[in-house]
Amino acid sequence: MKKKVSILFLLTAAISLVTAVPTFAENESSADATSSFAANESSANASLSSIESIVPLAAGESTSVVVNPVTYAFSSPINGAGQYGKISLESSGKAELFVYYNTGDGVWRSTDISYPGTGFIFLDESGGSSSLNFFMNLGWQYKVYVFADTYTAKGYIRNYQ
Protein backbone atom coordinates (compact mmCIF):
# COMPACT_ATOMS: atom_id res chain seq x y z
CA MET A 1 0.00 0.00 0.00
CA LYS A 2 2.83 2.41 0.88
CA LYS A 3 4.54 1.74 -2.46
CA LYS A 4 1.27 2.28 -4.32
CA VAL A 5 0.72 5.67 -2.62
CA SER A 6 4.29 6.84 -3.36
CA ILE A 7 3.99 5.80 -7.02
CA LEU A 8 0.64 7.62 -7.24
CA PHE A 9 2.20 10.71 -5.66
CA LEU A 10 5.16 10.69 -8.08
CA LEU A 11 2.88 10.15 -11.07
CA THR A 12 0.56 12.96 -9.98
CA ALA A 13 3.49 15.32 -9.35
CA ALA A 14 5.05 14.47 -12.73
CA ILE A 15 1.78 15.05 -14.59
CA SER A 16 1.23 18.34 -12.75
CA LEU A 17 4.72 19.54 -13.58
CA VAL A 18 4.48 18.57 -17.23
CA THR A 19 1.12 20.29 -17.68
CA ALA A 20 2.35 23.36 -15.79
CA VAL A 21 5.35 24.00 -18.02
CA PRO A 22 4.71 27.58 -19.15
CA THR A 23 5.66 29.18 -22.41
CA PHE A 24 7.29 32.31 -21.03
CA ALA A 25 8.41 33.42 -24.50
CA GLU A 26 4.81 33.54 -25.77
CA ASN A 27 3.76 35.77 -22.88
CA GLU A 28 6.75 38.09 -23.40
CA SER A 29 6.09 38.62 -27.10
CA SER A 30 2.88 40.61 -26.74
CA ALA A 31 3.16 44.36 -27.28
CA ASP A 32 1.75 45.52 -23.96
CA ALA A 33 2.67 42.30 -22.17
CA THR A 34 0.59 43.09 -19.11
CA SER A 35 -1.51 39.95 -18.97
CA SER A 36 -0.89 37.00 -16.75
CA PHE A 37 -2.04 33.44 -17.28
CA ALA A 38 -2.57 30.29 -15.27
CA ALA A 39 -0.97 27.24 -16.85
CA ASN A 40 -3.21 24.92 -14.85
CA GLU A 41 -6.56 26.22 -16.12
CA SER A 42 -7.62 22.75 -17.23
CA SER A 43 -7.17 21.40 -13.71
CA ALA A 44 -9.12 24.26 -12.13
CA ASN A 45 -12.43 22.44 -12.59
CA ALA A 46 -11.17 19.08 -11.31
CA SER A 47 -11.58 18.22 -7.65
CA LEU A 48 -8.28 17.97 -5.82
CA SER A 49 -7.19 14.98 -3.84
CA SER A 50 -4.94 15.56 -0.83
CA ILE A 51 -1.94 14.45 -2.90
CA GLU A 52 -2.61 16.91 -5.75
CA SER A 53 -3.07 19.82 -3.35
CA ILE A 54 0.65 19.62 -2.46
CA VAL A 55 1.64 20.87 -5.94
CA PRO A 56 1.32 24.69 -6.17
CA LEU A 57 -1.53 25.58 -8.51
CA ALA A 58 -0.20 29.09 -9.22
CA ALA A 59 2.95 27.88 -11.00
CA GLY A 60 3.30 29.14 -14.52
CA GLU A 61 2.24 32.76 -14.21
CA SER A 62 4.25 35.61 -15.70
CA THR A 63 3.77 39.23 -16.69
CA SER A 64 5.84 42.09 -18.03
CA VAL A 65 5.62 45.83 -18.54
CA VAL A 66 7.20 48.16 -21.12
CA VAL A 67 8.03 51.71 -20.02
CA ASN A 68 8.95 54.70 -22.19
CA PRO A 69 11.88 56.97 -21.21
CA VAL A 70 11.41 59.18 -18.14
CA THR A 71 8.27 57.35 -17.06
CA TYR A 72 7.32 54.45 -14.80
CA ALA A 73 4.65 51.77 -14.66
CA PHE A 74 3.53 48.72 -12.69
CA SER A 75 2.98 45.30 -14.21
CA SER A 76 -0.16 43.28 -13.62
CA PRO A 77 0.00 41.14 -10.46
CA ILE A 78 0.78 37.43 -10.45
CA ASN A 79 0.28 34.84 -7.72
CA GLY A 80 3.18 33.49 -5.71
CA ALA A 81 3.68 29.74 -6.03
CA GLY A 82 5.68 28.99 -2.89
CA GLN A 83 8.87 28.65 -4.92
CA TYR A 84 11.59 30.70 -6.58
CA GLY A 85 10.59 32.74 -9.59
CA LYS A 86 12.52 35.25 -11.62
CA ILE A 87 12.61 39.01 -12.10
CA SER A 88 14.32 40.57 -15.13
CA LEU A 89 15.02 44.04 -16.48
CA GLU A 90 16.13 45.03 -19.99
CA SER A 91 17.04 48.48 -21.31
CA SER A 92 19.54 50.27 -23.55
CA GLY A 93 20.15 52.78 -20.77
CA LYS A 94 19.58 53.54 -17.11
CA ALA A 95 16.55 51.77 -15.57
CA GLU A 96 15.25 50.40 -12.26
CA LEU A 97 12.95 47.54 -11.26
CA PHE A 98 11.42 46.95 -7.82
CA VAL A 99 9.20 44.08 -6.66
CA TYR A 100 5.98 44.90 -4.83
CA TYR A 101 4.00 42.28 -2.91
CA ASN A 102 0.57 41.93 -1.34
CA THR A 103 0.13 39.46 1.52
CA GLY A 104 -3.63 39.30 0.98
CA ASP A 105 -4.60 42.37 2.98
CA GLY A 106 -4.92 44.63 -0.09
CA VAL A 107 -1.82 46.67 0.74
CA TRP A 108 1.04 46.67 -1.80
CA ARG A 109 4.50 46.91 -0.23
CA SER A 110 7.90 47.36 -1.80
CA THR A 111 10.53 44.81 -0.84
CA ASP A 112 13.05 46.20 1.62
CA ILE A 113 15.79 45.03 3.97
CA SER A 114 13.28 43.01 6.05
CA TYR A 115 12.19 40.93 3.03
CA PRO A 116 14.40 37.89 2.41
CA GLY A 117 16.24 38.08 -0.92
CA THR A 118 16.83 40.88 -3.34
CA GLY A 119 13.74 42.42 -4.91
CA PHE A 120 15.30 45.08 -7.10
CA ILE A 121 17.52 45.51 -10.17
CA PHE A 122 19.41 48.62 -11.30
CA LEU A 123 20.92 49.13 -14.75
CA ASP A 124 23.47 51.92 -15.24
CA GLU A 125 23.84 54.25 -18.24
CA SER A 126 25.18 51.44 -20.43
CA GLY A 127 21.96 49.43 -19.95
CA GLY A 128 21.82 45.73 -20.77
CA SER A 129 19.78 43.06 -19.06
CA SER A 130 19.82 41.51 -15.62
CA SER A 131 17.83 38.76 -13.92
CA LEU A 132 17.53 37.55 -10.35
CA ASN A 133 15.87 34.57 -8.70
CA PHE A 134 13.23 35.70 -6.24
CA PHE A 135 11.21 33.63 -3.74
CA MET A 136 7.44 34.13 -3.99
CA ASN A 137 5.28 32.99 -1.10
CA LEU A 138 2.23 30.88 -1.88
CA GLY A 139 -0.93 32.95 -1.47
CA TRP A 140 0.79 36.32 -1.94
CA GLN A 141 0.64 38.45 -5.08
CA TYR A 142 3.61 40.11 -6.77
CA LYS A 143 4.14 42.80 -9.40
CA VAL A 144 7.07 44.86 -10.64
CA TYR A 145 7.53 48.61 -10.78
CA VAL A 146 9.79 49.73 -13.63
CA PHE A 147 11.30 53.19 -14.11
CA ALA A 148 13.01 53.99 -17.43
CA ASP A 149 15.44 56.90 -17.27
CA THR A 150 17.09 57.36 -20.67
CA TYR A 151 15.67 54.62 -22.94
CA THR A 152 12.66 52.33 -23.06
CA ALA A 153 12.82 49.57 -20.43
CA LYS A 154 11.03 46.26 -20.06
CA GLY A 155 10.53 44.46 -16.74
CA TYR A 156 9.46 40.86 -16.26
CA ILE A 157 8.28 38.80 -13.32
CA ARG A 158 7.38 35.12 -13.30
CA ASN A 159 6.67 32.67 -10.49
CA TYR A 160 8.76 29.78 -11.83
CA GLN A 161 12.41 29.22 -12.73
Instruction: Find, among 140, 147, 112, the residue nearest to 56 by Cα.
Output: 140
Q: Which residues pair with 134 in a beta bridge?
A: 85
Q: What is the pLDDT of residue 58?
A: 60
* pTM assigned to the model: 0.64
Residue 111 confidence class, pLDDT cut points 50, 70, 90: confident
pLDDT digits (tens, 9 = 90+) for 80-91: 999 999 999 999
Q: Stretch 39-62: mean pLDDT, rounded?
A: 50
Q: Which residues, in sequence order, are CB contacts of 102 under 8 Å at separation 6+?
A: 77, 108, 109, 140, 141, 142
Report the C-alpha gap between 22 and 30 in whole angstroms.
Answer: 15
Q: What is the pLDDT of residue 55?
A: 45
Report the C-alpha gap between 101 and 3 in whole angstroms.
Answer: 41
Q: What is the pLDDT of residue 118?
A: 80
CA 84 to mean position of chain CA atoms: 9
